[in-house]
Amino acid sequence: MKHWKPLAIGTGIASAALLSYAMMDGGNKVVTADDGGNKSGSFLSRLTGDKPETATIPSGTTIQIRLEEAISTEKNYSGDRFTASLNGPLIIDGNYVAPSRSQVIGQLIDVEPSGRVEGRARMTLELRKLIIDNSEYEIATEPKTLVAKSTKKKDAKIIAGSAALGAAIGAIAGGGKGAAIGAGVGGGSGTGYVLATKGDPVAYGSEAKFTFTLAQPLELPVIRKMDKSSEPGDS
């Protein structure tokens, strides 16, 4: 006569009752044989999966990025997006939250090409997303405006050089009035060249580095805890 079947049924009923009791236990922590003594979560939280620990990077924190593509006022327009990567890992209060080289998506919110005579080229950048292990996190930074160098000194040299050349031609032509006319013609041609020429663009190649400031706090999952002797490197 087989007596083990009723025992199995009874054990199953007892297990179901225990499961039901545990789930109605108000979240009390339960330790099972395979917990290894870890009492960090309730039975239900372990059943459904614990929410990962997060750390918040406060606003005002600076983040350095490295361009992965060239940007320029000659080829880009307002609204264009650009790709970059973190130039180093992000660590906040001993929490390692983002590895170096994590991808960053930015946007050019204002692009102004250089004008003739006045109006230097400029473009304004902001960061939009940080991608870690295929997960995207919205990021908000203070705008960073890049302005082309002034060309006034270069323009002055062009005009002065043209005037000197014109004076030399005038002198060869007979001096006196000819020299004055030559100087005027030379100077005028230099001025005309400057008027017809745009200023320098704003242009940066890949690998260019920029530092941005967070405009809003950024909450990220903790990848691992760092002790004082740990060196994250570029991992």
User: Are 129 and 164 members of one domain?
Assistant: no
Whether 136 and 203 share a structural domain:
yes
Stretch among 52-56, 76-80, 126-130, 225-229 having the lowest mean pLDDT: 225-229
DSSP H/E element including 135: strand 135-138
Q: Are residues 192 and 206 in the same domain?
A: no
C-alpha 163/C-alpha 170 separation (Å) is 10
Q: Are residues 158 and 216 in the same domain?
A: no
pTM of the model: 0.60
Q: What is the CATH number of the domain that holds 104?
A: 2.40.128.260
Q: Is residue 63 part of a domain?
A: yes
Determine the 3-state secondary structure of 181 from DSSP: helix
DSSP 94: T
**Does pLDDT of 12 surpass 70?**
no
Using the predicted structure, report yes or no on whether residue 147 has a pLDDT greater than 80: yes
Q: What is the total count of domains within the chain? A: 3
The Cα 149–Cα 128 span in angstroms is: 27
Asked whether residue 234 is assigned to any structural domain, the reply reads no
Shared domain for 32 and 102, answered yes or no, is no
The pLDDT score that the predictor gives to residue 219 is 98
Binned at pLDDT 50, 70 and 90, residue 86 comes out as very high
Q: Do the Cβ atoms of 202 and 72 come closer than 8 Å?
A: yes
Question: For the chain, what is the mean pLDDT?
Answer: 74
Q: Is the pLDDT of residue 102 over 60?
A: yes
Q: Quote the pLDDT of residue 138.
A: 98
Spatial CB neighbours of 114, under 8 Å, sequence gap ≥ 6 = 73, 120, 121, 148, 198, 199, 200, 201
Range of 94's domain? Answer: 54-150+199-225
- The stretch 81-89 carries a mean pLDDT of 98
Identify whether residues 91 and 118 lie together within a single domain: yes
Task: Please say whether the beta carbons of 213 and 174 come within 8 A.
Answer: no
Average pLDDT of span 208-223: 98
